[in-house]
Structure formats: structure tokens, C-alpha cells
Amino acid sequence: MTTMPKMNRRTFIISTAAIGGGLALGLRLPFGPGVVRAADGSPEVNAWVVIRPDDTVVIRVARSEMGQGTITGLAQLVTEELECDWSKVTTEYPTPGQSVARKRVWGPFSTGGSRGIRTSHDYVRQGGATARLMLIQAAANEWNVPASECSASNSVITHGPSGRTTTYGKVAEAAARLTPPKDVKLKDPKDWKIAGKPVKRLDTLDKLTGKQVFGFDLKLPGMLNAAIKECPVFGGKVKSFDAAKVSGMKGVKKVVQVGDTAVAVVADTWWRAKTALDALPVVWDEGPNAKVSSATIADVLRAGLDAEQAFVGNRSGDARAALSAAAKKVEAVYSYPFQNHACMEPMNATARYTPDKCEVWVPTQDGEGSFAAVLRASGLPAEKCEVYKINLGGGFGRRGAFQDYVTQAVQIAKQLPGTPVKLLWSREEDMAQGRYHPVMQCKLTGGLDADNNLSGLHMRLSGQSILASVRPHILEKQKGRDPATFQGVADSGEHAFGYTIPNLLVDHAMRNTHVPPGFWRGVNINQNCIFLECFMDELAHAAGQDALEFRRKLLGKHPRNLAVLNAVAERAGWGRPAPEGIHRGLAHMKAFNSYVAACVEISVSGGNKVKIHRIVCATDTSYAVNPAQIERQIAGSFVYGLSALFFQECTVKNGRIEQTNFDSYNSMRIAQMPKVESIIMPSGGAVWGGVGEPTICVAAPAVINAFFRATGKRIRSFPLKNHDIELV
């Protein structure tokens, strides 16, 4: 493994809880009872809501914005309960240091697993509702009337009997002094006016004018720039480097080693730092991993397909017995490659270190994770550390659990005390030092009885565990098993298997590699949905049945899976003749507590040129806070997932990743973009489903299934470019 520190949440809480509350970090916290004030002096009605005298409402958002629209969605939920004027809403990130000082009043910062809204909707709405009641109470106190006679709408409070009005901005100061009420009742989503509506995002304008400051764009007084190169063989180290060769180059200030594994050049501009870094002679101690290649990894995985030992993820009946008794047996082996996140904005972080204070500015999916990395790398206690979150130029899972760039920035800044240093990765560094989508192979064996019913299924996964590398404590509790491996095919929970099959076995032969794995948008549903949903088509074909009908028979106990599948089939016209040359394919899954399905229409010319004309997608997210943003996430997830399907593979040679940039790791362009039709069909209930990730998994298998119908060729390894299949 590389230098990435293994910071788990437990150690973070323990190390930060020790310093307790009462530290003023940017916010002005009073001693004893009193009003907490934002930096501009405006009162906090509660931790979620600051109201300025001009009625501007500042809503605090702990989760990170990386394009998925979370800050807008969360602000909608707070606004809904607060009854404030949406046109006067703005948002602000609290800092992780403030969170620590205030006993994590904003809850978790981590923004991954499509959790941004679905796991915080309740407490943020409570925050809005509580603030509304306090504002109304403050007005009632001023007027000397019962609060029950007052109501609030659009930031205006009205006393019903007298018709008197006031605004939030006028009573915020008094409201902030009140004791918050308890057990506040939330609105029925049926009555939502701002939430549930396709309102525009709050954060668009600055993205159109070049004004939005990304981490890459940060400027601080006296700041220097760093370019870095880490040992390209994972697990390798720096042996030596010849700083003298480049220290005289223009702009170069310092050449430093970063931990055991990397070297960096610090210069006045990044371009000069990078130019010197490219000229810097470095000798690596590459270690034993330098012998590893894609072929050796594939061999290890292949052996796992028939290995005795495997962790069971889902079992009912007796799959092996059913398979040996089957009238017809179908078997197939699939494999899925390593993939890089390739966020549009490469990794970066800016750090300033003195023995009294370490500050970091970083685009991060997990401000608290970044904070923990700063503590660890700086060696300073929590009250001397701070992290300022910056909106991300894409995250997709790369910028949450992994804070390697933060650690590096602090390690560099420590060697130039007092000077802010902005560390930017080149695209090449970003490609070489990913936290890759894990590799996985899968052998599926299905049995059909004499009536062509699916009597048994064995799905043997063999490949890499993300949690073994990233959250080993979870494996400890599971006797070595990685439960996340079974996303989409699990026996229960938010990634439950979508079919009822009398005899079923899903198990995992864990085969870890030296290539560091990570959470890549959708995580393990990407390969699991391909494995399962392509194989269901293979079984339907072997049974001589329609792919939809074959599935429907197994979906009797899965009404929500069935509903989304039916919805796409009906909209796309499944069962009716397709236009000349058009072929359809289907897939569905339950993921991140949402139910998703897709039906694609493709044509294939010359046997290998695939045009995707249309994708109909349905998602049941339980609730839809912003349908317009959900549509965008669906379309975006297809761009991400189909780029992976057609183009993307990180291959390993001599222990390192071979692809270096978008020329060898392509991404879909507008010409290849299919028309996406979204059916958003939230069906309510107590559990909310996610948005950013679930739909990513259904596009690829639906396309592969359609390709089979078009050509009679069943593709089982990816990306499709390896089969000379092009996306046009």
C-alpha cells in the first residue's frame, strides 16, 4: 500500500472528542448562554440557520457539493420547514474545526454512498422547523400574543387576529435567545412547496463566469506551488533523488521528499514546479510489486472462481444440489477491470503550517476525514488545526475516504513553515495514483428445470475487496467477509438482491491486489449489475423466453423492482416491434435504497459500431427532493458508467498503471450521448433512497444485452474497446 494513512472514524472521534466544546473557530461562540454569531455578526437561530438583518437566510450545509446538487437539495429541505423566502437563501459550509468544537452539531460531513440527502433529511428538516418555531415565538413575544395565533410564510410572520406582520430578519436576534422547542413535527411531504420541486440550483452563476474558486484556483498571499510524483509502483519508496540538478531552475524554491514514497518540487508557479519535477532524477525502490501485471492479477482471480473457501453473501435453499439436478445448466465467466475516477479537477490541497497552526484548503467529500488527516500529518492537536472546504471539481468517491493529497500537502508545508503551499497533481499523477474501482471476476452457473424455470443460481465472485484495504475494522467484525462486495446481490438491506430464486448462492473468494482500491461512483453495483443482469438475459435466452417475462416471474415478491422494470419496458415499448435496426436491452437493481431500471435502444453498424439512441430510466427514490437534479444525476451517471463500459480500463504493467491521461483513458463526448428519458417515481415510505449512484449500474448491462440481441455476440469482459467495439 501507499502512504495513505488508515484513519477510521473511531480513532477520529476519540482523538477529537478529547478537546471538548467551547472553542471559537471562526464562529463567535459565547461563554455561557448567549447568541452564537456568524463571522459577519448575524445571529444563529440554530446551528442550521443564520438570518441577516436584510432577511437573507444562510443555511449551513455539512455535506459537500461536487456537482450532484446536494447543497441545493438540503437547502430546499431546510427552507421547506423554515418557511423562508427561497429567493433569499444562500448556503455556507461550517468547518470541521467548528464541528469538533461544537460536538458535531451538524452530524457527519462525509458525502459518499449517495447519502448526502437520504441520511440527513430528517435532522436538517428538524433544524428548519425548530428555527421557524423560534422565530414565530420571538414575534409573538414582541407582540405579546400567543404564538399559536401567528404563522410564517416566505420569511414573513403574521399575527392572524390583528394582521400585524414582521420579518425573519427583524426577530432573528430575539429568536436566537430562545430555548429551542423539542419534538417538532415535520410537514407531510405531500404539502411540500419548495422541496419536491425542480427549482434551479443555488450555485450556478459563478460556474459560468470563471468566478467560482476551485481548489486548483486558490490564491493566498505569499503562496508557493508544488508538483509531486509518488512512486508509480504502489508500495514502492523513494530511494534517492538529485535535487541539485534542478534547484537552480527558474522559480524553484525547494525540492523535498514527501513521506517515504514521493518527491515534490516547490516553485513560484506550478508550471515551473512541474517542469523542474519532470527534470528531477529520482530513483525508486520499487519493491516486489514491480513484478505484478494485469495478467498475473487475472490469474489469481481466475483461481478464485473455483476455490473452496469463499465468503457467503446470500444463500437460500441448496444451489449446488439444484444445479446438479437441473435439466439444463448455463455457465458464464465475466470480468471487470480497474478504473480510475478521473475527476475533471485533479487532486489538490493547499496547506499552511506553523508550529501553532495548520490550515488546509481542500476540495473534499469528507471535511472531517480531511481534518483527521491534517491532525495526523501535522502532529498538532485539533484546536490548532483547521480545514476549509472548497467545492469540488468532481468527486465520484475519490475525495472521501482517501485524503492522501491532504497528507502530502501538509508534509510539504511542514518543510516550509509559514508559507502557504498549493499542491496540484498533474493529470498523469492523478491517473497513476488513483484509488481504483476494484477488479472482479464472476462465474455464474444457472440451472433450469424441465419447465425452463430457474431452479438454482450460483454466483461466485472472485476479486478485490475495497473494505479490506479501506475499512479493515468492518472485516474484523464480519470474520473476514467484506459485506460491500455484495452490493446489489445481498440477502437484505439497501442493496438487496432483486429476485426470488429457490436455490441461490452468492459468494466471494477474496483476492486482493497491491493496487489500492476505492469507492468509485456506484462502487460494487457496477460489476454486480452487469454480472447478474447480463446472465439473466443469458438464462432467458437458454430458456427460450422473453427477457422481461423471464424476469417478471422471479419478481413476484419484489414489487418495487418490478414497478421500475415495468415502467421502463412500457415507456420504451418493450414487446412491441422496435424501429428498423434498433435493438433493446433491459436491466434493474436495488441500490442505495433506490430501485432503478433502464431500457436502452441501440443500433450496431459494421458489427462493431454501437449507437445508443435512447435510454429510458426509472428510479424510485422514495422521495424526490429536486426532480430536475435527479434527472441530471441519471444522465450524468450514464455518461460516467458508459464511458467505463466502452473505454475505461487501468491496466497494470511492472506494478504500475499504464494509462496516463485522457488519450489512453477516454471519456464520452457529446456526440456519443444518448437521449435519456427519466421516469422519477418516488413511492414514499420510511426509508429514503439515494440519487447520485444507483442508476449508474443499469446502463451498462442494458447496453450489453441489447448488443447481444443486435449481433448474437455475448460480451463478458470489459471495456468494450478490447473487443474492437466502438461507441459512435
Beta carbon nearer to other proteins, 208 or 686: 208
Footprint (CB under 8 A) of other proteins, residues 12-71: 66-69
Element (H, E) at 85: none
Nearest approach, Cβ of 88 to other proteins (angstroms)?
18
208 touches which of ligand FES, other proteins, none (CB within 5 to 8 A by kind)?
A: other proteins
The CB-nearest residue to ligand FES is 344
719 touches which of other proteins, ligand FES, none (CB within 5 to 8 A by kind)?
A: none
Residue 451 — φ and ψ, nearest 5°?
-95, 15
**427, exposed or middle or buried, with CB in 10 Å at 0-12, 13-18, 19+?**
middle
Nearest approach, Cβ of 427 to ligand FES (angstroms)?
8
Report the C-alpha gap between 60 and 48 in whole angstroms.
Answer: 5
Give the residue, chosen from 9, 28, 104, 427, that forms a contact with other proteins under the rule CB under 8 A.
427
Report the C-alpha gap between 20 and 17 in whole angstroms.
Answer: 6
x/- mask, other proteins, residues 218-237, rule CB under 8 A, reads -x-----x------------
Nearest approach, Cβ of 662 to ligand FES (angstroms)?
7
What is the length of the chain?
728
713 touches which of other proteins, ligand FES, none (CB within 5 to 8 A by kind)?
A: none
Site size toward other proteins (CB under 8 A) is 59
Beta carbon nearer to ligand FES, 587 or 634: 634
Grid cell digits, residue 14: 476519540
Residue 229 — φ and ψ, nearest 5°?
-135, 120
Nearest approach, Cβ of 429 to ligand FES (angstroms)?
14
Beta carbon nearer to ligand FES, 391 or 594: 391
Amino acid at 455: S
Q: Which residues bind ligand FES (CB under 6 A)?
A: 67, 344, 394
Element (H, E) at 15: helix 9-17
Distance between start and end Cα atoms, the chain: 39
Give the residue, chosen from 628, 679, 680, 681, that forms a contact with other proteins under the rule CB under 8 A.
628
x/- mask, other proteins, residues 251-270, rule CB under 8 A, reads ------------------xx
Nearest approach, Cβ of 392 to other proteins (angstroms)?
6
Beta carbon nearer to ligand FES, 425 or 486: 425
Nearest approach, Cβ of 670 to other proteins (angstroms)?
4
**596, exposed or middle or buried, with CB in 10 Å at 0-12, 13-18, 19+?**
buried
Footprint (CB under 8 A) of other proteins, residues 148-187: none
248 binding other proteins? (CB under 8 A): no
Grid cell digits, residue 119: 441520511
Beta carbon nearer to other proteins, 207 or 291: 207
Order of strands across the sheet that contains 49-51: 44-46, 49-51, 57-60, 89-92
Beta carbon nearer to ligand FES, 236 or 394: 394
Beta carbon nearer to ligand FES, 67 or 689: 67
Beta carbon nearer to other proteins, 68 or 464: 68
Determine the 3-state secondary structure of 589 from DSSP.
strand
x/- mask, other proteins, residues 392-411, rule CB under 8 A, reads xxxxx---------------
Nearest approach, Cβ of 394 to ligand FES (angstroms)?
5
192 touches which of other proteins, ligand FES, none (CB within 5 to 8 A by kind)?
A: none
Give the residue, chosen from 239, 250, 557, 609, that forms a contact with other proteins under the rule CB under 8 A.
250
Report the C-alpha gap between 200 and 626 in whole angstroms.
Answer: 9
Cα 593 → chain centroid: 15
Beta carbon nearer to ligand FES, 307 or 344: 344
Contacts for 646 with CB less than 8 Å, ≥ 6 apart: 610, 666, 668, 719, 720, 721, 725, 726, 727
Report the C-alpha gap between 71 and 367 in whole angstroms.
Answer: 15
Residue 55: name the closest of 34, 35, 84, 27 by CA.
84
SS percent in the chain: helix, strand, coil, step 5 = 35, 25, 45
Footprint (CB under 8 A) of other proteins, residues 305-344: 342-344
Beta carbon nearer to other proteins, 359 or 631: 631
Footprint (CB under 8 A) of other proteins, residues 194-213: 200-201, 203-213
Report the C-alpha gap between 689 and 570 in whole angstroms.
Answer: 23
209 touches which of ligand FES, other proteins, none (CB within 5 to 8 A by kind)?
A: other proteins
The interface region with other proteins, picked from 73-81, 183-191, 546-554, 636-644 by CB under 8 A, is 636-644
Report the C-alpha gap between 612 and 604 in whole angstroms.
Answer: 9
Footprint (CB under 8 A) of other proteins, residues 674-703: 675-676
Report the C-alpha gap between 508 and 542 in whole angstroms.
Answer: 26
598 touches which of ligand FES, other proteins, none (CB within 5 to 8 A by kind)?
A: none
**281, exposed or middle or buried, with CB in 10 Å at 0-12, 13-18, 19+?**
exposed
* Cα separation values, 652 from 237, 413, 613, 617, Å: 18, 32, 34, 35
Report the C-alpha gap between 616 and 674 in whole angstroms.
Answer: 10
673 binding other proteins? (CB under 8 A): yes
Report the C-alpha gap between 460 and 464 in whole angstroms.
Answer: 13
The interface region with other proteins, picked from 41-49, 81-89, 534-542, 633-641 by CB under 8 A, is 633-641
Is the distance from CB of 718 to CB of 337 less than 8 angstroms?
yes
The interface region with other proteins, picked from 84-92, 172-180, 526-534, 637-645 by CB under 8 A, is 637-645
Footprint (CB under 8 A) of other proteins, residues 353-392: 391-392
In angstroms and rounded to an integer, the radius of gyration of the C-alpha atoms of the chain is 27
User: Contact positions toward other proteins, by CB under 8 A?
Assistant: 66-69, 200-201, 203-214, 216-217, 219, 225, 250, 269-271, 342-346, 391-396, 424, 426-427, 628, 632, 635-640, 661-663, 667-671, 673, 675-676
